């Protein structure tokens, strides 16, 4: 019960932060922060980094995410864990739909300094939420169900890809820092809620398995 209450508190706090951030963005109070941050990021621009970040950002595109979902789905199917994979699909879909709605509501124009072709509105970042929902949900599942040597590398790897995806959107000028932060906040909210459902389902499964063993 205490854990559940903490989850609700965290969600409430994150919602307040998101609302405040959105209000500041709409009022133009974050413009100078976004510009200063981009100028700092672009100073490290170089060809090798650009090539790596281009791959990372393309993987978070619509085609990239669909491809990754198919690949990860086949892995879950191979391990007979499609019931777990449903969380990945639901979270990615929820994140994309939510951000798409918010983009059209806020209507923020993309940065004038962008140097890759990118249409649509800017706030929040669609690529960032897609990557966060995909890799973030996988992190939750790995943390709960994977044990041994693979666990830590997978968690670190997924975390790194999430960071690099958000960074790449700022690096290429497709998004402001605040666009990325907004998506990360929304992603955290979705993951917390998803984790609550996961815990309930996994606990029920454990109880069923215990009862089944006891009846044998």
Return the SS3 of 58.
Answer: helix
Residues 28-81 have pLDDT tens digits of 999 999 999 999 999 999 999 999 999 999 999 999 999 999 999 999 999 888
**Residue-range definition of the domain harbouring residue 133:** 2-198
**74 inside domain:** yes
Task: Report yes or no on 208 lying in a domain.
Answer: no
Residue 23 lies in a domain: yes
In order of 85, 128, 147, 204, 214, the CA distances from 208 in angstroms are 20, 38, 22, 6, 10
Query: Would 62 be classed as within a structural domain?
Result: yes
Number of compact structural domains in the chain: 1
Closest CA to 204 of 215, 196, 216: 196
In a domain, 80, yes or no: yes
Q: How confident is the model at residue 19 (pLDDT cuts 50, 70, 90)?
A: very high
Segment 203-213 mean pLDDT: 54
Residue 214 in domain: no
Q: State the pLDDT at residue 113.
A: 81
Domain annotation covers residue 142 = yes
Asked if residue 214 has pLDDT above 50, the reply is no
């Amino acid at each position: 019960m205490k854990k559940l209450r903490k989850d609700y508190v965290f969600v409430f706090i994150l919602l307040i932060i998101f609302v405040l951030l959105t209000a500041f963005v709409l009022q133009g109070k974050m413009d100078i922060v976004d510009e200063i941050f981009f100028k700092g990021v672009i100073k490290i621009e170089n060809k090798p980094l650009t090539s790596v970040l281009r791959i990372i950002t393309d993987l978070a595109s619509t085609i990239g995410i669909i491809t990754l979902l198919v690949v990860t789905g086949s892995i879950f199917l191979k391990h007979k864990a499609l019931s777990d994979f449903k969380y990945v699909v639901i979270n990615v879909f929820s994140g994309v739909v939510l951000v798409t709605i918010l983009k059209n509501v806020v209507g923020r124009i993309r940065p004038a300094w962008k140097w890759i072709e990118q249409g649509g509105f800017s706030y929040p970042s669609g690529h960032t939420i897609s990557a966060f929902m995909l890799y973030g949900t996988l992190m939750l599942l790995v943390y709960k169900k994977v044990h041994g040597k693979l666990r830590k590398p997978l968690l670190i790897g997924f975390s790194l890809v999430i960071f690099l995806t958000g960074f790449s959107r700022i690096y290429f000028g497709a998004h402001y820092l605040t666009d990325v932060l907004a998506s990360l906040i929304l992603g955290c909210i979705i993951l917390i809620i998803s984790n609550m459902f996961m815990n309930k389902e996994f606990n029920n499964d454990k109880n069923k398995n215990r009862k089944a063993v006891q009846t044998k």
